[in-house]
Amino acid sequence: MTHTKFFTNEQGNTLLKRFAGVFEHLPNIAFFDALVGYFRASGYFAIRPYLEHVPRIRILVGINVDRIVAQYHAQGVLFKSDPQMAVEDFRQAMKADIQSAAYTKETEDGILQFIDDVASGKVQIKAHPHRKLHAKIYIFRPEHFNEYFSGEVITGSSNLTVPGLGNSESSNYEFNVALRDYEDVKFAADEFEKLWNEGVDVLPVDVRNVATRTYLNETFTPYDIYLKFLIEYFGKNVEFDPNNLGDLPEGFKRLSYQIEAVEQGFDLLKRHNGFFLADVVGLGKTVVGALIAKKFFYYNDFPSHISTTLIVTPPAIRPYWRETLDKFGLKNYEIVNNGSLHTIAHPEKYDLILVDEAHKFRNDTSDAYNELQKLCKSPSSRRMKEGGYAPKKVVLISATPLNNRPADIRNLVLLFQDGKRSTLPGESNLISFFADVTEAFRDAQKLPLEEARAKVAELYQNVREKVITPLTIRRTRTDLLEHDDYKQDLDAQGIVFPHIVPPCHILYELEPALEQLYDDTMASLSLPPEQGGLTYFRYQALRYLVVEKKGRYQNAELASRQLAFMMKTLLVKRLDSSFTAFRASLRRFANATVAMMTMFRNGKIYIAPNLNVSEYILEDKEDELLDKISSLMETDPSIMICTPDDFEPEFIEGLRQDDATLRGLLERWDAVTDDPKFETFARELQNALFDPARNPQQKLVVFSESQETTAYLVKRLKALGRDDVVEIHAGNRKEKMPAIRANFDANLPHAQWRNDINIVITTEVLAEGVNLHRANIIVNYDTPWNSTRLMQRIGRVNRIGSPAGNIYIYNFYPTAKVDNDIELRKKAIMKLQAFHSALGEDSQIYSTEEEVGTFGLFEKSPEESRDERLAYLMELRKFKRENPQEFLRLKNMPLRARTGRKNHLLSGGTLTFIKSPKRDAFSFVTKDGELLELTFIEAAKQFHALAPEKAFVLHDQHHAHVNQAISAFHAQIEAERRQEIIVDASLSPYDRKALTLLASLLNAPEISDEQQALIKAAQNAIKIHAYNQLPKKLAQLANSTKKTPMRLDVMLEKLFAILESFPLSGSEHAESLGALTFPSSLRQEQPEIIISESFMTA
């Protein structure tokens, strides 16, 4: 076997093993000299046992010449030599080494042993003042070094580090040579001596000082650790300066919470490409949006790129946006009505999109949602330095982004996030997350009221913690009033928020005969047909077509049932609204049923979903209807002319049954002349509603969902002599707005105030974007079944500048019959509870039974009365303001700082805060080794300490516990990585069908390379759920081809028409393909140990 002096570290033949061999076979080693480019104290523990009996150890370390030379050049000085800087370079390298070393007791003991060895003189260290030493030389010499006792020299690639020694899993590949000839060892020793004499001493005090500047410092107190925890968690938010946005336009107040929202929102745009601006109604979200747009303009590569902001808004509040943006001097903006997104020809021209009243886009099946999602996810025209085009930034503005379904939040988030590639820490697959929540929410709706409320609150707390909090800026009035920084700001500006009094009930009673009619009506509306209830067959014609005809309509059964349910719901809502509205709706239903029966008698049944067929039939315009249908049938495949034989026999029987029931109900309701609800309302106008003590401005706002009800109320009030009442609806809103503002907008100058209108009775058209806060009383004449509308209504009067001290909400309740029969209150309360638990609101709106919590910008549990997360931030800011030097010390305190504490409840456990660029992780490991994940609030409560508390030693399991937390962090990242990689396994039926279609056409010879790239981009977009409607449209195309086979060229034409309507790679911005590739989240996230604490028994 050939013997060689060279060796590598393969097959366990490491430098460390070679060291062991030297000391084993050369037992009289008295000198150990090491010349290295890099020395790591963290690796010293590995060689220390072999150096135990070596009396003299010298280590010469090179410096980072490149860095030092650069510093000299920056000062215009030529670098020759700098002894002081050489020592400082060693200190910095040693500090970095300690801070990044393996977090083990063995490593720490080795570092401390090294420090002791330097202090005792056993180890001497020098730093070369002007050379970057690439050589690695290790010299072993006996006491009497001569040609007969020569020792050994090892040289090669291995540094004196853990990887260089080969003492870690990630060791380097090393190549070295070991020489024992006297001449070789002497040459190396002489060269070392020459360099050693040029070196600068690193004194024991230098080494000790390094340790005290790292986490090995044992003087950190629990109070230090607590404040460091807050500093690291809140980051730049601590450094808030309310004056950093320059002057505001005249007439705008400088409010700290608004300026702060700009800073925090800007940070969220950078991290997540979008966020919710969801401060409660009346706190000035439009101003915040304008400030964000102005800041974004100058930060988005200005002046090389001139950014354009697009405002998407309802038409009613478009003038207010234009007025605000012009006052703030933002020139490069455009405004589009939220119903006109399809008119945008060049979406790439926009860089920032502000969507006001964003909750209107919560339904992902609407065309408007599809247009907005494509607009938000198409790239901008700004080219990034790393290539491709920059993604748009999106601000969703709404005090009420949640309506009543988990899917509402999901859909809004997916306007700027990909469903299966989210940037949210811990929740990369939002589709899966919300699917679980939706199923649980559906199950909760079947429970009794109290159980349902508790379950919904629990579900939405989870949604809030995992999704809403990381993406939302939201504060309520309570948040602003409870924190001194905000409160003093408001006081200085003279701003006072009115108090919302718990909802007041106005009960109206039904006389016995009317109550009986009510009972009978509810039975007819609600009971199944076999028990005498209505069949609603008029709205289920598609369901009862014979099979051959029904096949033309997709989801005919489901659509029919939904339409019937909608009609039933409408009738119940109209009965709740007013007898007048109910009679009108009942009559329309009866007339539509008669029209269908008439078509049966005539032998022709017209099915035209987009035409009001009943109106033509009842007005005896069948010839005109036939001409209309004939012309439309060529372009509208949903139109069909049927005969009675095309329907199942029970269809006509159901129509006859409904006709008889409806005629009977109409006859009885037409005989009703009393209206106890209106009479109660008119009576309360003379009492509570215009009581000067409650209503100092003598203004009243009345809401109803039904225009028939609002018209009826105005007519009745005018008949009673009230000429100060006006009705507002969609048809006259624009015309009446000047008068409404003059009579109800408290923000107008007093000289413009008028009092010729004191009661406004309105539909939902005044529920958003209007100031009505000279009034302080809202009357919900009928139940607003939509919780978003409920919130918006109150926001009209609960605004900054309200002259009244209290806001009153009055809700009409009939007798308990409504509760028992339609569970109206249960449904309304469940919707409100879902909203409260997810986003927070500080007022009870519909029922005093609601649980109310204010979550503000940050975390909060439903049972708590204040926003604790915001409280911790304010505590830290106060500390910084009062103790600037101490704050700076703590800010510079090293990461990994730790301490021991005494707490018998937590004894034996360890609390950790671990962080990576993408996520924070808080955990507590119990004495039994169970790891508990914590929220920020839970961790903050455990970290909390007061200044006098003393520190104690760490318990023996401390390092094991911290490493367990790190392992859990990596396990979570790995689980998410696997989830993203195998995302196909969780595909929906739409996704699978769409991907199957694309795969079948990918290699068709008729398509070009560009079209093939477009198909691949579509496949990728579906896998990460970039667009809600893309897989649905492709699945519909696949279904249509299955029913009616088409030529390949026709199929491809339809396919690419769909694909080209979405901003995919292969279109105009092909370089934006990166927007649809898997992100860096698939790469390893290396966590940092921020701080930790271990607990002992008190």
Same domain, 136 and 195: yes
- The type of residue at 111 is I
Q: pLDDT for 20-30, tens place per residue? A: 888 888 878 99
Q: pLDDT for 1033-1073, tens place per residue? A: 898 888 877 766 778 888 888 888 899 889 986 333 333 33
pLDDT at 860 over 70: no
pLDDT at 110 over 90: no
How far, in Å, CA of 14 to CA of 393, rounded? Answer: 53
Whether 934 maps to a domain, the answer reads no
Confidence of residue 772 (pLDDT cuts 50, 70, 90): very high
Same domain, 516 and 639: yes
Peptide linkage before 692 cis (omega within 30 of 0): no
Please enumerate in sequence order all residues whose Cβ is within 8 A of that of 398, keeping only pairs 6 or more positions apart, or say none: 276, 277, 278, 356, 357, 358, 359
Task: Report the SS3 class of residue 671.
Answer: coil
- Dihedral sign of CA atoms 447, 453, 456, 457 in order: negative
Whether 971 maps to a domain, the answer reads no
Backbone angles phi and psi of 662, in degrees to 5: -65, -40
Same domain, 648 and 686: no
630-650: average pLDDT: 77
Tokens of 60: 């010469």
Q: pLDDT for 212-228, tens place per residue? A: 899 999 999 999 999 99
Whether 952 maps to a domain, the answer reads no
Same domain, 649 and 774: no
Tell me the pTM: 0.68
The residue out of 670, 687, 717 marking a domain boundary is 670
- Per-residue confidence (pLDDT) for residue 815, from 0 to 100: 54
- CATH number of residue 75's parent domain: 3.30.870.10
Confidence of residue 250 (pLDDT cuts 50, 70, 90): low
Same domain, 661 and 694: no
How far, in Å, CA of 586 to CA of 588, rounded? Answer: 5
- Per-residue confidence (pLDDT) for residue 416, from 0 to 100: 95
- Dihedral sign of CA atoms 555, 556, 557, 562 in order: positive
Contacts of 1035-1041 with C-beta under 8 Å, sequence gap 24+, read 1035/989, 1035/990, 1035/993, 1035/994, 1035/997, 1036/554, 1037/997, 1038/993, 1038/994, 1038/996, 1038/997, 1039/554, 1039/993
1087 in Cβ contact with 902 (< 8 Å): no
Same domain, 643 and 705: no
**Burial 513-527, CB ≥16 within 10 A → b, else e:** ebeebbeebbebbee
384-400: average pLDDT: 87
Confidence of residue 53 (pLDDT cuts 50, 70, 90): confident
Same domain, 167 and 32: yes
Of the listed ranges 70-79, 88-97, 589-598, 652-661, the least confidently predicted one is 70-79
602-615: average pLDDT: 76
Of the listed ranges 212-221, 862-871, 1004-1013, the least confidently predicted one is 862-871
Of the listed ranges 90-104, 127-141, 481-495, 840-854, the least confidently predicted one is 840-854
Same domain, 165 and 18: yes
Whether 162 maps to a domain, the answer reads yes
pLDDT at 846 over 60: no
Please enumerate in sequence order all residues whose Cβ is within 8 A of that of 73, keeping only pairs 6 or more positions apart, or say none: 79
Name the nearest CA neighbour of 903 among 866, 930, 943: 943
Name the nearest CA neighbour of 140 among 185, 192, 197: 185
**Cα–chain-centroid distance for residue 277?**
11
Tokens of 142: 């006996």
- Per-residue confidence (pLDDT) for residue 67, from 0 to 100: 46
Whether 803 maps to a domain, the answer reads yes
Tokens of 220: 């950190």
Same domain, 600 and 618: yes
Q: What is the mean pLDDT of the chain?
A: 82
How far, in Å, CA of 335 to CA of 323, rounded? Answer: 12
Whether 1033 maps to a domain, the answer reads no
The residue out of 792, 820, 839 marking a domain boundary is 839
Distance linking the first and last C-alpha atoms of the chain: 66
pLDDT at 1074 over 70: no
864 in Cβ contact with 1056 (< 8 Å): no
Of the listed ranges 278-292, 312-326, 375-389, 1009-1023, the least confidently predicted one is 278-292
User: In which domain, by residue range, is 130 found?
Assistant: 6-212
Name the nearest CA neighbour of 192 among 166, 153, 225: 153
Whether 348 maps to a domain, the answer reads no
Same domain, 599 and 685: no
pLDDT at 210 over 60: yes
Q: How many domains does the chain have?
A: 3
Tokens of 335: 């405004």
Backbone angles phi and psi of 641, in degrees to 5: -105, 120
- Per-residue confidence (pLDDT) for residue 403, from 0 to 100: 54
- Per-residue confidence (pLDDT) for residue 515, from 0 to 100: 79
Whether 704 maps to a domain, the answer reads yes
Same domain, 764 and 702: yes
- Per-residue confidence (pLDDT) for residue 448, from 0 to 100: 78
- Per-residue confidence (pLDDT) for residue 849, from 0 to 100: 41
How far, in Å, CA of 524 to CA of 658, rounded? Answer: 9
- Per-residue confidence (pLDDT) for residue 633, from 0 to 100: 53
The residue out of 809, 839, 869 marking a domain boundary is 839
Same domain, 567 and 644: yes
- CATH number of residue 802's parent domain: 3.40.50.300
Q: pLDDT for 296-330, tens place per residue? A: 988 888 888 999 999 999 887 888 899 888 888 88
973 in Cβ contact with 427 (< 8 Å): no
Q: pLDDT for 351-376, tens place per residue? A: 999 999 898 898 888 889 999 999 99
Please enumerate in sequence order all residues whose Cβ is within 8 A of that of 98, keeping only pairs 6 or more positions apart, or say none: 41, 42, 111, 210, 211, 214, 215, 216
- Per-residue confidence (pLDDT) for residue 675, from 0 to 100: 94
